[in-house]
Homo-oligomer: A and B are copies of this chain.
């Protein structure tokens, strides 16, 4: 009289961790941090709550892992389209900015998620370090793209490191600011409006006409990345 149907299935550790992280992200984006309780996360992942403690020694650890996942995903979604070779350095920069300011990187879900995490960087050391690392990573990628674009347009007058750093900080700020408002108030901006503003602004800051080039020569680079999420 053995039950033919097992009551549960044993999954590989990484897969279960993944499912739990995704559940946490989904809940946080839908209901905020307060909605992401241990029980709710477990239910969404179709397991019982005890299992969470089996893979994460504390809830904070799970949340921290979810934060890392989300930020890396966003950086990846922004940088990947710009990594194609065979296009000019300026085009790579344009693609990077455009990807960061269009769906799926710029949308309500992503921004809400980020906002939920960012509020805990003051009290939680692990979160603060994660933020710093993610921020530097993104900014460094941007700085490299800016440098290459500048070198391409003026090969014999390389930008000084201090200026380059400041440009990267400024351009990162524009992108972040636009990204945030685009996610927070999506209905108040036209499609691609923020991406175009981003191109214009970064172009003005680094002294290269990014928008014109895009619209005239290689418009395909400004398309939104195919949904990988």
Contact = CB atoms under 8 A, between A and B. Distances in A.
A128 B207 CA distance: 36
Each complex incorporates copies of this chain amounting to 2
Interface string A161-198: 00000100110111111101100110011000110011
Interface in A85-126: 108, 112, 115-116, 118-123
A141 to B, nearest CB: 16
Interface residues of A, number: 46
A32 interface: yes
Contacts of A31: 123
B180 A176 contact: yes
B119 A181 contact: no
A132 interface: yes
A200 interface: yes
A135 interface: yes
Contact of A119 (B119, B123, B177, B188): B119
A170 B166 contact: no
A183 to B, nearest CB: 9
A122 to B, nearest CB: 4
A205 interface: yes
A177 B173 CA distance: 4
Contacts of A30: 123
A71 to B, nearest CB: 13
8 contacts: A33-B33, A115-B115, A118-B119, A121-B184, A173-B175, A173-B201, A174-B177, A201-B201
Given A32-B120, A135-B184, A173-B197, 7 more contacts: A32-B119, A33-B119, A118-B119, A172-B181, A173-B176, A173-B201, A176-B177
